[in-house]
Structure 1
Amino acid sequence: MKIFKAPTLARVTGIDGDAVLHEARTLIAKKLDQPSRRAFMQRSLTLGGLSLLTGCSISDNTQVEAALTKISRFNDKVQGLIFSPTQLAPTYTEAEITRPFPFNAYYGENEVREVDEASYKLEVTGMVADRHAWTLAELRAMPQHDQITRHICVEGWSAIGKWGGVRFADFLRHIGADTTAKYVGFKCADDYYTSIDMPTALHPQTLLTLSYDGQPLPPKYGFPMKLRMPTKLGYKNPKHIKAMFVTNTYSGGYWEDQGYNWFGGS
C-alpha cells in the first residue's frame, strides 16, 4: 500500500515556506531594536498568520513587510475592542514603590532635555473649544490626584512608582475637547511623539502627571509633565510634553512608526 504525503507549500506553489518565514523574521529583526520585542514578534509569527491575516502574496520581500504591518494593525484593533474604559489597573502601597525608579528613554540619562519652567506653556490644538496655552501654575491649580501603579516596559522589566497630577479626562472636558474624536496626539520637548485612542484618554487612571513621589516631576521622569497610563506599555507614556492635539487623523508615534504596535496595551 502506498502512503501519500500531504503536498507541501513548496510543492504546490513553488514557495519555500520556511524561507519566507525566515525572511519575515529577518525583517522584524531589522525593524525592532529591543531584543524582547523582537523575540516576541519573531516567535509569534507563523506562515498561516502571515498569509491569513493579510491575504497577500508571500513570495516577495515588499509584501512580507507589508504583511507585518497589517498584522500589527490587526493586533491594534483587537486590543481596542477588548479594552475596558472602566477596568482599573492594579494599585500598590508606598512600601512597594521601586526605589530608585529606573530612568527610561530612547537616549541616555545624560541627554535628558531641560525645559524652562518660567516660560513653559502647554500648547492645545485640534478639536477643542479652548485653545489657550496652559502654564504649569494653571495646571497645578486644577484638582490633583495620586496613583501608585506599575510601569511595564516592552523590554521586559517593570517598576512601581507614585505619580500625581490632573486626571486627563477632567482636563479634556475642561478645555471642551470633542470626546467623540478618535485620537489625542502629543509632541514632546525631546522630539518624541505619540498618539492614543480616546477611550484610553478618558480612562480614570490616565493622568497628566506633574509630580513624582510627592515632589515636582524631575527632569529624568519627564518634567514639566508626562502622560501616565498604567493601562499601556511604557513607550506609550510620553514625557516632556509641550503640545497636545485632539484629532480624527491617525498620527502614529516615534516607536509605532518603526514597527511597534500602536495601541500598546499592557
Structure 2
Amino acid sequence: MNAVTRTLVDITTPDGTADAYLAHPDDGQPHPGVLLYQDAFGLRPHLKAMADRLAAAGHAVLVPNVFYRHGRAPVVALPEFIDMAARPDIVEKVVPLMESLTPGTTERDAGAYLAWLADSPLVADGPVGVTGYCMGARLALHTAGAHPDRIAAAAGFHGGGLASDAPDSPHLLAGRITAELYFAHADEDPSMPEEQIRRLEDALTKAGVEHRCEVYRGAHHGYTQSDTAAYDAAAAERHWTELLALFARAL
C-alpha cells in the first residue's frame, strides 16, 4: 500500500467554486484518477478516509462537495455518529440539498471535476473511474452517461432511484455508457425496490453495457458508511473487494 498525501482543493465550475478533497499516493507520480461521489451527508471525515483507502491502493481520488452551491463543507453540521432514527432533523436538512441537484447540474459539475482531473499532474492520462454512494450512485450513473469518453469504470453502492419512472431517471442513459459498471444494491433498501433493480439490469443488458449488478443480502441502505447506524462491516468489505477489482481491470 502507498503512503497518502491529502489536500483540499477548489474547482471552478460553470456555477461557482466547488471545494473538494484530494488524496493521492505520496510518490510524485501520476496515478489513475477516481471521482468519488458522496452520500446525502456530504464531505466529512468518513468519506475522506474512504478516499485515502483508494489512494493507498494507487489512485488519485477527488471527492467534491456536490452541495457547494449551499456553502463549503460541512454544509450540514453532523454528529460523529449518524443515526437518522434518533436525529430526524438531519433528514430535514439534507433532503432539500439532494433535491437541488438536477441531472443538468450534475452533468455540468461532472464536466468540471473531470476537467480538473485531466489537468492535474497527479492524475495519469486517460479515462478515469467513478464510484458513488447512496445518492452518489445516481450521480455516478449520470456522469458515466454524460461523459462516456472520460469514464472507463463506474460503480454504485446502495443507490436509490436508479431506474425510476421519472423521465430523467439515470438508467435511461444506458445507451450512451461505454464504461464497465458494477452496482451493489442492499436488499433492505426501499429506495431501490426489486422492480427498479430489474429495470436497471434490463436497460444495461439491452444497451450492451458491460456490467454486473448484485444484491447484498441483509444489508441496509448506507451499508458502506461506518459513521452511520446503517453500517454493515461484511458488506462494506465486500464492496471494497469489488470496487478495487473493477478499477484494477479498467483503469
TM range (shorter): under 0.3
Greater relative contact order (Cα < 8 A, sep 6+): 1
- TM-score, normalising length: structure 2: 0.26
TM-score of the aligned structures, taking structure 1 as reference length = 0.25
